[in-house]
Chains A and B, each alone.
Chain A
Amino acid sequence: MRISDGAPGARILAFGGYQPARVVTNDEVGSMVDADDEWIRDRVGIVSRRIAAPDETVADLAVAAGGKALAGSGLAAADVDLVIAATCTPEVMIPNTAPTVARRLGIPAPGAYDLNAACAGFCYALAAASDAVRAGSARHVLVVGAEKLSQWVDWTDRSTCIIFADGAGAAVVGPATGTADPGIGPVAWGSAGEMADRIFISDRGSFIVQEGQAVFRWATTALHPVARLACERAGVDPAELAVIVPHQANLRIIGAIARGIGAPQATVANDIVTAGNTAAASIPLALSRLRERGEIPSGSLALLIGYGAGICFAAQVIRLP
């Protein structure tokens, strides 16, 4: 039996992001619960978020973001041979999202699967994509994080309705060949299954529930060592990072993680301010918007830290396309 020839490394070719059209302000979402704009900004850091249209599906969001990433990569659709859709909010379990996304983007019959690692989904999917390219299982991978959390939210529950939102982000991953450096570092991942009951949806008819305080304590203490380990595994000193992109769960968690890493020179992504918490979409959406705004130069180093329900987490250093 042979094994496949792969690539010495993988890199990201392009990002793409999509936010639904409808902007929902703090005043609007807070009016249904006992929360005003100031309270929401102070507690979670959000100023506004986007909510998908009632008939807008997770696949729609994924196609929108994925299409932009594909366009930005310079590749033809036929060059993509694997699509990974990271989502924990699909409308149905069967069929999965990725093959539909592939078909709608005109990608002819690639490998395709969905990946549920909640808000850590993009980092897990990126690791899987990098591994596939390096192992020779795929040449070019479209990785999408797409979520419609709004369809799982109780709009009378202040602890969740002010936080969760909808959106999608995507990356095209390809080989680092020739003299190109690897652009996706080794993943540092793990889980805390003893905290499985802290963020959950009980059954198909239920809402998302989160024990905010317990999650806050865990996230602000357990993650910065994982982040530093990802840097160490990549052979990158935190002082070399241009940007740190934690999952956009809550601005205070983001701040605490960044402080724990000790890279004061790095920009810390705060996309949550105008995006809300979009689970697996949050990291690629933040990256695509940072790049669109020209806030971080091509070729610079970014540290991604995904963490979410499960609890599961994954972090890696990447080089920006």
Chain B
Amino acid sequence: MAQTEQEILAGLGEIIDEVAGVPADQVTPDKTFVDDLDIDSLSMVEIAVAAQDKFGVQIPDDHLRNLKTVQDVIDYVRRPAVTA
């Protein structure tokens, strides 16, 4: 079942809090990972792996490097699944 933006944002906030110690309420859609949230590339991998478990969406490394803001990840999770 498709999740709302709010649900994904909340889930992402939990993940980022656990992985990077950034309080979930600071995780807003406009924030950039590197500059605003001070999250480095290794933490991004952990976030991507946790997002995979939580949202059922694979985020390979080469896609991950294009996700700069929280909104980018929300959009990625919500995008229509590619059919084989």
Give me the interface of A with B, judged by CB distance under 8 Å: 42-43, 212-214, 216-217, 220-221, 250, 252, 256
Identity of the chain A residue whose Cβ is nearest the Cβ of B49 in the assembled complex: A221
CB–CB A213/B49 < 8 A = no
Main secondary structure of the interface of B (DSSP, over half): helix
> Per a CB cutoff under 8 Å, which of A42, A217, A250, A256 touches B40?
A42
Q: Which residues of B contact A221 (CB under 8 A)?
A: 49
**Which residues of chain B are near A216, meaning CB under 8 Å?**
42, 45
**Closest Cβ neighbor of B53 among chain A residues:** A221
* B26 at interface, CB cutoff 8 A: no
| A43-B40, A217-B49 known, 10 other contacts, Cβ within 8 Å | A42-B40, A213-B42, A214-B61, A216-B42, A216-B45, A217-B45, A217-B48, A250-B42, A252-B42, A252-B46
Query: Cβ of B40 and Cβ of A213 under 8 Å apart?
Result: no
A217: which B residues are within 8 A, CB to CB? 45, 48-49, 61
For A42, the chain B residues whose CB sits under 8 A away are: 40
Q: Are A220 and B45 in contact (CB under 8 A)?
A: yes
CB distance from B48 to the nearest CB of A (A): 8
What is the 8 Å Cβ interface bit string for chain B, positions 31-45, against chain A (1 contact, 0 not)? 000000000111001
Chain A neighbourhood of B48, CB < 8 A = 217
How far does the Cβ of A250 sit from chain B's closest Cβ, in whole Å? 8
In the complex, which range does the number of interface residues on chain B fall in? under 10
20 example contacts (A-B, Cβ-Cβ < 8 A) are as follows A42-B40, A43-B40, A43-B42, A212-B42, A213-B41, A213-B42, A213-B45, A213-B61, A214-B61, A216-B42, A216-B45, A217-B48, A217-B49, A217-B61, A220-B45, A220-B49, A221-B49, A252-B42, A252-B46, A256-B46
Question: Which of B45, B48, B49: most chain A Cβ within 10 A?
Answer: B45
Across the A-B interface, give the 4 residue pairs with the lowest CB-CB distance, nearest first: A217-B45, A216-B45, A216-B42, A221-B49
Q: Which chain A residues lie closer than 8 Å to B45 at the CB level?
A: 213, 216-217, 220
Q: Which residues of A contact B61 (CB under 8 A)?
A: 213-214, 217
Q: How far is the CA of A214 from the CA of B49 in the complex (A)?
A: 12
The distance from the CB of B63 to the nearest CB of chain A, in whole angstroms, is 13
A220 vs B42: C-alpha distance in the bound complex, in angstroms?
10
Query: How close is B72's CB to chain A, nearest CB, in angstroms?
Result: 18
Decide if B41 touches A220 in the complex (CB within 8 Å): no
Minimum CB–CB distance from B66 to chain A (whole Å) comes to 14
Alpha-carbon distance A162/B61, docked complex (angstroms) = 23
Distance of A213 Cα from B49 Cα, bound (Å): 12
Expressed in whole angstroms, the Cα–Cα distance for A196 and B25 within the complex equals: 41
Nearest CB on A from B8, distance (A): 21
Shortest A42–chain B CB gap in Å is 7
CA distance A221 to B61 in the complex (A): 14
Residues of chain B contacted by A256 (CB below 8 angstroms) = 46
Residues of A contacting B40 in the complex (Cβ-Cβ under 8 angstroms): 42-43
**Chain B contacts with A in 1-48, Cβ cutoff 8 A:** 40-42, 45-46, 48
A212 to B61 CA separation, bound complex (whole angstroms): 11
Contacts of A252 in B (CB 8 A): 42, 46
In the bound assembly, the distance between CA atoms of A250 and B49 in angstroms comes to: 18
- Set of chain B residues within 8 Å of A214, measured between Cβ atoms: 61
